[in-house]
Amino acid sequence: MPSEISALSLIHRCRRNRRTAAIRDLVQEVRLHPADLIQPLFVVDGEGEPEAIESMPGVLRYSIPRLVERCREVADLGIPAVALFPKFDPSLKDAEGSHALVRDNLLYRAIAAVKEALPDLLLIADVALDPYTDHGHDGVLSADGRTVDNDASVARLTQLAQLEAEAGADWVAPSDMMDGRVGAIRAVLDGAGFTDTGILAYSAKFSSAYYGPFREAVGSLQAAGSAHLDKNTYQLNPANTREAIFDALLDEEEGADVLMVKPAGPYLDIIKTLRECTDRPVAAYQVSGEFAQIHAAARLGWLDLWRARDESLLAIKRAGADMILTYFAADWAATYQ
Ligand code: PBG
């Protein structure tokens, strides 16, 4: 310090706690751990080589044998859970999503194969009709075709959840945003003897542009035949906090074991508010578009990929998520020490 400048007399100098890496480590408030993460994985029929998904660099669609290998790698990295998403051939899709109820379809075979090979890996299966419908919606349409019929959709979704449980899913994850689906699924599971099967509810799921790459990955956009699939009559308005919390707490009342917020990064305030409103575990889904956004900027040389990735995940943890679904899970865990 030049001699003519006298030291400020400050009681607190915040920079003292940032001075060295050792101090910064000691004062760090939240940390990520591989055990916080859930790896989403895509599965396709056949025996072929894994298929790339253009807008999701490094994310592949696996045949069942390759999926099992991938799940083993994920488990070996200390990640406790995977969430499976099937991509069906368009020829199997119809307006009712009938293929969802075919007992030996790709998803159920995949669940059974992974469960048999890796019984300790927690297996999560999505409950929604979008991989099976030719219009790409998460449920069945009303008679006039103008909206998604809530109660008729719930009736099918409960059957889908039961088939997933029968195949060996540990948790079923309704991502459809129909009203009453959590309670209905709980009742059907309990009635069929699956009292130990958990429900990870997509409780505050927003109608988001950030699902675009996922819709490419599972083919729901191609099925809909349009560039934009409007789910505004069932997914939440991005402007609404109170409505999101009200809807999420209904899932808690209906018996959800874990409440999820989705997307994660643009909705950190919702994660934090929900965390304060419930004693149930809170999950957050860093969705395909959040992943793609970081990759795209990195590819242009505009962001540092790993630093942006780590910061995005830490921010979700800091907001209050107990667990994070992220396409970065395995990559992140591989660099964890
Ligand atoms: C559909 C479903 C979606 C995602 C998970 N389940 C997309 C949608 O609602 O259209 C999105 C996941 C992602 O973008 O990574 N039931």
The one-letter code for the residue type at 36 is: D
CA of 120 to the centre of ligand 1 (A): 26
- Say what the alpha-carbon torsion angle 244, 107, 292, 66 is, to the nearest 10 degrees: 150
Average pLDDT of span 293-312: 98
Q: How confident is the model at residue 245 (pLDDT cuts 50, 70, 90)?
A: very high
pLDDT digits (tens, 9 = 90+) for 137-161: 999 999 998 899 999 999 999 999 9
Domains of the chain, first to last: 31-334 (3.20.20.70)
Least confident of 226-230, 238-242, 269-273, 298-302: 226-230
CA of 277 to the centre of ligand 1 (A): 25
pLDDT digits (tens, 9 = 90+) for 169-181: 999 999 999 999 9
pLDDT at 213 over 90: yes
Q: How confident is the model at residue 216 (pLDDT cuts 50, 70, 90)?
A: confident
For atom 14 of ligand 1, the residue with the nearest CA is 211
Measured between alpha carbons, how far is residue 140 from residues 87, 100, 149 in Å? 18, 12, 6
d(CA 6, CA 37): 50
> Does the annotation mark 205 as catalytic?
yes
SS3 of 157, please? helix
Terminal-to-terminal C-alpha distance of the chain? 39
Q: How much is the pLDDT for 145?
A: 87
SS3 of 99, please? helix
Max Cα–Cα distance, the chain, nearest Å? 83
208 within ligand 1 shell (Cβ under 6 A):
no
211 within ligand 1 shell (Cβ under 6 A):
yes
> pTM here?
0.96
pLDDT digits (tens, 9 = 90+) for 249-267: 999 999 999 999 999 999 9
The one-letter code for the residue type at 124 is: I
pLDDT at 226 over 80: no
137 within ligand 1 shell (Cβ under 6 A):
no
CA of 26 to the centre of ligand 1 (A): 38
287 within ligand 1 shell (Cβ under 6 A):
yes
Atom of ligand 1 nearest to the CA of 220: 10
